[in-house]
Amino acid sequence: MPFPILLLLSGYLGLQLILSGPFLQLLVNIISFRLFKFRWLTPGILLPGLWVWARHFVIFFPGELGTDIVHAKGSFVHFRISFSNLFKGKLIFRGVNVRSFHMDYTNRVESRKKIEYLPKRGRIQFKLEKVSHSSIDIEDKTLTPVFNIQIRDIKIENGVLDAGSPLEILFRSRIGSCRLGREGLLRTGTLKGGDRGYLTLSGITWGELAGLEIIPLPLFKKQVHLTLEFRHIDEHHTDFEGTLLHTGLGEEEESESYPFRFGVDWNDFNLPFDLALRKLIMELFLQTKLEGLMARTLQTIAKGIRLFLGKD
């Protein structure tokens, strides 16, 4: 065998050994020390296409130094790392397929302190081909009272999860659904072209959804029934239009229906998911056609929270 070919083959095999599953697992766990633990059953990152197949993977952040505690595991994951985008300074995971994923997330660090550590929008993305039979349990200890929510039966097809703007996945998935809390149901989807879509939310209160119990208003104890349509103007801007229905807990209480219409610039939502969700809710309240004292009170609170989120 000619020497140049032998040299290339040796280099290829050496690099493949470095990218093998057991070697990567050992290397990551040594570098991370006690801050991060990682296990997976996989041949590793396969060249030349940077493909990854893994089974029975576990990712664990034990919360050393008072950081968040995260324990995630799944039975199967498959994806490919986009080689060409690496030269553009972007990390894009394509064809992501996840099954039986579950994550327990305990938030112990105020979300506003995490903003500076988020990547810029578009820098790290997961192109989700399919996510099924998955769930997330969240406990936020930075709120009083402690906020808990369970997200069950997560299903996503052809969605985009941006690490710098995670809220956008609600509006950039071909099909998506999940159960929230005890009775909440979220459904979302886009039409064939991808520039138009819908979202419906029902069976949950604002307090259960976004930890807004801290605001002492009866409105946040009422169940939400939200129906909206959206249109992506371009990569950065989206218009929303729909109807917000609030239903009282008692049978004698009347339902309240309000239309709304507004637009957002996603560059302003380079935030952790919880902050971005509250910001979007506040924008919705500011543009909803409410009436009377409740409207003035709610919009004053919304402006205050928007200013708070806009700091830093």
Tokens of 270: 């380079």
pLDDT in tens, 266-300: 999 999 999 998 889 888 877 776 665 556 666 66
Is pLDDT above 60 for 41? yes
- How large is the average pLDDT for residues 106-131? 95
User: Which of 23-27, 28-32, 195-199 is most confident?
Assistant: 195-199
152-166, 204-218, 240-254: range with lowest mean pLDDT: 204-218
Q: Is residue 94 part of a domain?
A: no
Phi-psi region at 233: left, alpha or beta (left = phi > 0; alpha = psi -120 to 50): alpha
Phi-psi region at 154: left, alpha or beta (left = phi > 0; alpha = psi -120 to 50): beta
pTM comes to 0.88
Q: Is residue 158 part of a domain?
A: yes
Contact by Cβ (8 Å): 210, 197: no
17-21, 142-146, 188-192: range with lowest mean pLDDT: 142-146
The pLDDT of residue 247: 74
In angstroms, rounded to a whole number, what is the distance separating the alpha carbons of residues 141 and 106?
A: 7
Q: What is the DSSP letter of 108?
A: -
The pLDDT of residue 47: 87
Is pLDDT above 70 for 74? yes
The average confidence (pLDDT) of the chain is: 87
Q: Is residue 27 part of a domain?
A: no
27-36, 107-116, 157-166, 283-292: range with lowest mean pLDDT: 283-292
Q: What is the DSSP string of 195-256?
A: SEEEEEEEEEEHHHHH-GGGS--GGGGSEEEEEEEEEE-SSSEEEEEEEEEEE-SSTTSPPE
Q: Is residue 201 part of a domain?
A: yes
In angstroms, rounded to a whole number, what is the distance separating the alpha carbons of residues 219 and 107?
A: 26
Q: Using pLDDT thresholds of 50, 70 and 90, give the confidence band for residue 312.
A: very low
Is pLDDT above 80 for 15? yes
The pLDDT of residue 304: 59
The pLDDT of residue 170: 97
- How large is the average pLDDT for residues 71-76? 96
**Domain span at residue 167?**
101-310
Tokens of 274: 């919880």
Q: What is the DSSP letter of 269?
A: G
Contact by Cβ (8 Å): 289, 259: yes
| Domain tally, the chain | 1
The pLDDT > 70 percentage for the chain reads 86
111-115, 167-171, 286-290: range with lowest mean pLDDT: 286-290
- How large is the average pLDDT for residues 94-110? 96
- How large is the average pLDDT for residues 253-278? 88
- How large is the average pLDDT for residues 176-205? 93
pLDDT in tens, 45-67: 998 889 999 989 999 999 988 89
Q: Is residue 232 part of a domain?
A: yes
The pLDDT of residue 8: 79
At a CB cut-off of 8 Å and minimum separation 6, what does 14 contact? none
Q: Is residue 120 part of a domain?
A: yes
Q: Using pLDDT thresholds of 50, 70 and 90, give the confidence band for residue 311.
A: very low
Is pLDDT above 90 for 76? yes
The pLDDT of residue 240: 97
Higher pLDDT, 13 or 170: 170
The pLDDT of residue 131: 97
Q: Report the 10 Å Cβ neighbour count for 138.
A: 17
Q: Is residue 23 part of a domain?
A: no
Q: Is residue 274 part of a domain?
A: yes
Higher pLDDT, 204 or 12: 204
